[in-house]
Amino acid sequence: MDKLRITGGSPLNGEISISGAKNAALPILCAGLLTADTISLSNVPKLNDIATTLKLLSQMGVRCDRSQDNAVSITADQVTTLEAPYELVKTMRASILVLGPLLARFGEARVSLPGGCAIGQRPVDQHIQGLAALGADIKIEHGFVVARAKRLKGAVVRTDMVTVTGTENLMMAAVLAEGQTVLENAAREPEVVDLAELLIKMGAKIKGHGTDRIVIEGVDKLHGASHRVCPDRIEAGSFLCAVGAAGGSIVLRDVAPDTMGATISKLQEAGIKIECGSDWIKAGMTGRPRAVDVRTQEYPGFATDMQAQLMALDAIADGTSVIVETIFENRYMHVQELIRLGANIDIDGHTAVVRGVTRLSGATVMATDLRASASLVIAGLAAEGETIVERIYHLDRGYEKMEHKLRLLGANIERITS
């Protein structure tokens, strides 16, 4: 398994481009199942989760062509199987996103239940209940969600909690349903909006995306379209935390600062000087960050996907901060590893109290999930001496060439391939 070796202490300086958003690209690729025409996508990041999705679609008979320049085209004109097997779903929960499109277009789907994951239980009951409300006959059989419907029928669906992939799955199902669907308590994440924009280009009738009430008028058929995947706000936020921890001055290109309000204002509170244009962010940091409290929330609140990275910054901050994780029940797996680097953190249920220390010291640590890995890399950049981050396959699921981008900025980081 590959590792990263980081020698801390080098400030970050220079300019990098931010990749397309993983969490937008995943549902968008699955939306290719909704039509027999070609969907042409650009700015699709090269990540393991994207490769898994393309493998899943290919196994169903979908033609997936990927070019060097991050363009992908998807043609689902000869779908041969309506099943997502356990082997793929267990490696990536987002595979559940094929359920809505398969059911809507083909009237049938068999998708393995994802099972548990490192950051919590993460059930898919809301996806299932929502599809049942749209008229699907849906049951769990031998570990699979098995769904059937001649044609889905529009309905008012109110999810018990705000769910991002739940909203996406239901939106993709509703675009081909008969009549009107109203999704109440819908997720407002920019990635949901990006998916809605692609679906509209494909001929779907959607209003209210970006609010908590999405109204969809079902159509009989969708057609091909071209779309550029929106920038990855979590990757961008992670690099901002990195410069906050290591110091220096960086420019991020190909970003969407208007989707990063909560992150940017927290990092400014921590002392990072941030300036934004329409598609760039300039960030500079000197000295030690200030401790900042944070409570994770659904968009437009502070993203749970940024919590671990911000904690790395708080670990070396001047003062004590309180972090409250409200979205996932087990998202503090990075804490024990940050403590191995010398951080002073106490956990009580959903709350972490971080007492900033003046310096971290390099050690061997283990990545446990995607954002935890980024947090350890950020801490390693600030730590004295050498940090080895093991199990970085988690990082490769969601960050495109992270060590390459950090090296461009002057970090002392290398991949050790085993």
**Which string of x and - marks every residue 133-172 that binds ligand UD1 (by CB under 6 A)?**
----------------------------x-xxxx------
Q: Least distance in Å: CB of 271 to ligand UD1?
A: 26
400 lines the binding site for ligand UD1 (CB under 6 A): no
Of 305 and 314, the one with the shorter C-beta distance to ligand UD1 is: 305
Q: Least distance in Å: CB of 344 to ligand UD1?
A: 26
**Which string of x and - marks every residue 271-310 that binds ligand UD1 (by CB under 6 A)?**
---------------------------------xx-----
> Assign residue 172 a region: left if phi > 0, alpha if psi is -120 to 50, beta otherwise?
alpha
Residues 36, 42, 48, CA angle at the centre, nearest 5°? 90
- 176 contact partners, CB below 8 Å, separation of at least 6: 34, 104, 105, 151, 152, 218, 219, 220, 221, 222
Q: Least distance in Å: CB of 356 to ligand UD1?
A: 25
Q: How far is CA 147 from CA 97, 222, 332, 397, in A?
A: 13, 21, 35, 29
Of residues 103 through 122, those in contact with ligand UD1 by CB under 6 A are: 120-122
**Which string of x and - marks every residue 34-73 that binds ligand UD1 (by CB under 6 A)?**
----------------------------------------
Of 38 and 326, the one with the shorter C-beta distance to ligand UD1 is: 326
- 276 annotated active-site: no
- 253 contact partners, CB below 8 Å, separation of at least 6: 15, 16, 17, 18, 279, 280
| Residue 21 to residue 391: CA distance in whole angstroms | 22
| Residue 267 to residue 281: CA distance in whole angstroms | 12
Sheet holding 156-158, edge to edge: 156-158, 180-184, 213-217, 205-207
Of 225 and 303, the one with the shorter C-beta distance to ligand UD1 is: 303
Write phi, then psi, for 200 (nearest 5 degrees).
-65, -40
Tell me whether residue 23 is annotated as binding. yes
Q: Interface with ligand UD1 by CB under 6 A: which residues?
A: 23, 26, 93-94, 120-127, 161, 163-166, 191, 304-305, 327-328
Residues that constitute the known binding site for UDP-N-acetyl-alpha-D-glucosamine: 93, 122-126, 305, 327
